[in-house]
Structure formats: C-alpha cells, structure tokens
Amino acid sequence: MLIRYMLAWAALAVIAIANGILREVTYGRTLPESTAHQLSTLTAIIFSGFFVWWLSRLGPLESGPQAWLVGFIWLVLTVTFEFGFGHFVAGHSWTHLFADYNLLAGRVWLLFLVWVTVMPYIFYKLR
C-alpha cells in the first residue's frame, strides 16, 4: 500500500501543474497576481483533497504512523520538485522561489505544503 501512495504523488504533481495552468489561462489573467496565487492555492488544496479522498477509498493506509510517513514523504517530494524544477528547469532564482513562502506578503503556498503533509492522516482517520 505504501508504494501505491508513493506513486500517487506523481498524480498529485500532475494535479498541481494542471491547477497552475488553469490559473494562468483563466482567472490569473484578470485577477491581481497575489489574489490569483491565493485562489490557486485553495483550488490545489481542494483538487488534491478529492484525489486523496478517492485514493484512500480505493486502498486505505494501514495505520496512523504510516499515514504520517506518507505525508512527510509527499512533503519532501513536493518541495524537492518545486525547487528542483523551479530553479533548474524554469530558471527561477532562489530568491523568487523562496518568496512563495512569505506568509506576511500574502503568499500562502505554505498552507498547501501543510495540507500535503496532513492529508493522508486526515483521510486515514476519516475512513
């Protein structure tokens, strides 16, 4: 089951990328950038939540500690992908990448990272 959840992270990455594309081709063109970022973070939380809810119904995790392990692995994979792809592929500076972690500036991406971490445990407990 653990391997299935590790592979499911790739689907979460696709959901996050599709969510970003949705933002860029729709409301991101008309809303202020900060508002679009916040809305995009919310929709990423919702879309990923639906996916993990479905995944937890398809094959539930076996224990609370296993759910936390999955969440922390997903967190590491997400941050590694974000910084690796963002810097080495997209060419963003480290300063630009770290700016998304500034809650005081209205950057709420950290909320998604918290969600990715706790989501497996929440859906484990709800089952």
Give the pTM: 0.91
Could you state, in order of their start, the residue ranges of all structural domains in the chain? 2-126
Residue recorded with tokens 């810097």: 87
Taking alpha carbons only, the member of 45, 48, 57 closest to residue 9 is 48
In the prediction, which pLDDT does 100 show? 86
pLDDT tens digits, residue range 35-83? 999 999 999 999 999 999 999 999 999 999 999 999 999 999 999 999 9
Q: What angle do CA 93, 82, 9 make, to 5 degrees?
A: 175
Instruction: At 94, list the tokens.
Output: 């480290």
